[in-house]
Structure 1
Amino acid sequence: MDGLRLPPVMDFSGNMARNWSLWKQKFQMYMLAADKDEASEQVKVAILLNLIGDEGVEIYNTFKLQIEKTTLKGVMDNFEKHCQPKKNVVYERYKFLSCNQKEGQSMGSFITELKTMVKNCEYESEEEMVRDKIVMGIRDNGVRERLLQTEVLSLRKAIDVCQIAEVSRHQTDEMATKMDGTSIRVDNINSSKSKISTSNIVAW
């Protein structure tokens, strides 16, 4: 398909689990957009190995799989095991529960961070946990009070309240800045008029 963007080469350094999760998603979207889902398993595996990069091919070779006898799912499962070693759920929950909104961090960024972290925690209800952590972790006590006063607080409602409050705060700050600027200009004009008036009196 003309103009279709290829997935980047997989980065096996740094946070490999996160890198793999993002790369896998981009690869799956590419396969769907390129209409390759109906191709043979051999072709699918070949496309994956062509896109994943040299380091990925070297890792694939350690799986000891035969390309003509394996499936795309089999290859993907092996990469999954390589990139995502068994996680410590207690530690993942500790990181999630310790996560609070940082100074200067937008609500959108904070919520995305929580939604990403909670996926590793194996909670029964991820939505409830993210909702509760928003209430506990936001920096604005006024917004927290509003959330606590909401009788039926869903995750969607909590996000809406926080985002509306953030937008309103930005708008108020912008208005205050403009009003301060107008006030300064008015003061300067009044000061200039005063000087002119005084000058006229002296001249007279």
Structure 2
Amino acid sequence: MAQSQSPSIMSMFNIPEKLNVSGNLSENWRTFDQNFKIYLVASGLDKSEDARKVAILLNVIGEDGIKIFNNFALTEDEKNNFENVMKKFQEYCEPKKNVLHSRFLFYTRKQEESEQFDSFLTDVKRLVKSCKFEAEDEAVRDRLVLGTNDLNTQKKIVIEGDADLDTVITKLRLAELGRQQAAEVQGKVKVDKVVDRRSNSKPVQNNMVLKCKWCGEQHERKLEMCPARGKLCTKCNRYNHYATVCRSRYVKVIADSSLQNQEDSDGEFYCGSVQKMIQGKLN
């Protein structure tokens, strides 16, 4: 007979929550069953006699669980058989399922476009529990490879051969992490380029700064800003431009003062008209 545990030692362990009979009873039972068995092992009560373990079960399962137990058609010996009692609870909470439907849900599960891989993995592992596959790990591996939204990694895994479940999980996780890191880097580079272009560009203004064809210098596109305005060209004897930018070739002219300071149609000014050509030819 197993030695009894003192109350002080027993209080060191968390007692499982009562069985919740509302909502998803099947899922609630799996949670309770796992927590209860962990509690038995942690406290050392798993070595107790069957009758005591059944009593501990009924003590923590709650009133709704006791009502379910009382409806079991069991003999006295069967009521004191711990494994038998646990099996009865499982059959009650997890009625026979449509395996074909469960496998349909499993086979058609695909990773959504924006779904994280770990979310997809968790759901696949949940769905496989109801499919009654003999080799669950292989089934999960196949669904992860065939259902992933990462077609590049999918192709590599298939080409490389029969990878096990852990290898497939690692490859798909690393591929997702790599894509996330690459997206962060690319996003940073794009932002830097936009900032750089903006910082190096000149603001667009109505009065743009251009190189003037009359003085050869850069200034705003305003007549009054041109230093050559009113100046006489020493090359052609015309006004309003410098000799350094003069376009006359082999020509000597007499300027008509009445035509000085005329402006062309685009808002710029030009030299006075040539009244008389003394010699030379215009090309």
TM-score of the superposition, structure 1-length normalised? 0.83
Correspondence for 1:145: 155
After TM superposition, the structure 1 stretch with the greater mean CA deviation from structure 2, 163-172 or 125-134, is: 125-134
User: Match for 2:111: what amino acid?
Assistant: Q
Q: 2:50 aligns with which of 18, 41, 46?
A: 41
Deviation for aligned residue 1:56: 1.2
Match of 2:72 in 1: 63
In structure 1, give the amino acid aligned to 2:172: C
Whether the 8 Å contact between 2:140 and 2:165 is mirrored in structure 1 is yes
Residue range with higher mean Cα deviation, 81-90 or 62-71: 62-71
- The alpha-carbon deviation at position 27 of structure 1 amounts to 0.8
- Structure 1 segments unaligned to the other structure (5+ residues): none
Greater helix share, structure number? 1
Aligned position for 2:16: 7
* Residue-by-residue CA offset, 1:42-92 (whole Å, 9 max, x unaligned): 332222122222211211121155599512212211101101111222222
| Higher strand proportion (structure 1 or 2) | 2
The residue aligned with 2:182 is 172
Partner of 1:32: 41
TM-score (norm 2): 0.62
The 3-state SS of whatever aligns with 1:37 is helix
The counterpart of 1:157, out of the listed 134, 159, 167, is 167
Higher RCO (CA < 8 A, seq sep 6+): 1
Alpha-carbon distance between aligned partners in 2 of 1:142 and 1:150, rounded to the nearest angstrom: 13
Q: Cα offset for 1:181?
A: 3.4
Q: Is the 8 A contact 2:102 2:127 kept in 1?
A: yes
Larger Rg: 2
CA shift for structure 1 position 188: 4.3
Q: Is the 8 A contact 1:42 1:67 kept in 2?
A: no
Q: Is the 8 A contact 1:45 1:67 kept in 2?
A: no
CA gap of 1:184–1:98, structure 2 versus 1, over 3 A, is same
Q: Please state how far the C-alpha of 1:33 moved relative to its aligned partner.
A: 0.8
Unaligned runs of 5+ in 2: 1-8, 210-218, 221-283
1:145 maps to amino acid: K
Partner residue, 2:126:
116
Match for residue 109 of structure 2 among 94, 99, 102: 99
Matched, 1:88 2:98: yes
Residue type matched to 1:29 in 2? I
For 1:133, the equivalent position in structure 2 comes to: 143
Taking the TM superposition and a 5 Å limit, the aligned residue runs for 1:66-81 are 66=76, 70-81=80-91
Q: How many residues align?
A: 201
Percent identity for Structure 1 against Structure 2: 34
Measured after TM superposition, the shift of residue 170 of structure 1 is: 1.4
Alignment check: 8 A CA contact 2:79 2:85 kept: no
Amino acid at match of 2:109: C
Contact 1:143/1:165 (CA < 8 Å) preserved in 2? yes
1:53 & 1:104 partners in 2: Cα distance? 42
8 Å contact from structure 1 (residues 143, 161) kept in 2: yes
